[in-house]
């Protein structure tokens, strides 16, 4: 059964490739998913990623202006406390 069946691989070879980089820095050679720039292994599969309008993305508030100001105030208080301890220790 060899030789009587020719394989038509031209469309597969001509398809767009994934734009991701592998761990060794080379380009991924897998074909991109239909309508996507990445292959199925690099995020081109259906329903990958966060849902649209994700309301749970930033609920912790660590990077809000209030959160940053609070951490800066705590750090300033700790710095003052350390200086006071050093002064008390040297006296």
d(CA 32, CA 45): 9
Residues 4-20: what's their mean pLDDT? 85
Compute CA 51 distance to the chain's CA centroid, rounded to the nearest angstrom. Answer: 15
Same domain for 67 and 40: no
pLDDT in tens, 16-58: 999 899 899 999 999 998 888 899 899 888 877 767 777 766 6
Same domain for 65 and 90: yes
pTM of the full structure: 0.44
User: Does residue 4 fall inside a structural domain?
Assistant: no
Q: What percent of the chain has pLDDT over 90?
A: 43
The parent domain of residue 28 ranges over 10-46
pLDDT of residue 74: 97
Backbone angles phi, psi at 7, to 5 degrees: -95, 130
User: Does residue 35 fall inside a structural domain?
Assistant: yes
User: Does residue 79 fall inside a structural domain?
Assistant: yes
User: Does residue 73 fall inside a structural domain?
Assistant: yes
Per the structure, the count of domains in the chain is: 2
């Amino acid at each position: 059964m060899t030789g009587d069946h020719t394989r038509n691989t031209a469309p597969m070879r001509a398809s767009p490739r994934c734009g991701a980089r592998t761990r060794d820095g080379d380009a991924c050679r897998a074909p991109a998913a239909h309508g996507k720039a990445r292959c199925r292994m690099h995020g081109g599969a259906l329903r990958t990623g966060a849902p649209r309008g994700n309301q749970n993305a930033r609920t912790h508030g660590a990077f809000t202006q209030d959160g940053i100001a609070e951490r800066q105030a705590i750090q300033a208080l700790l710095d003052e406390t350390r200086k006071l301890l050093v002064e008390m220790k040297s006296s």
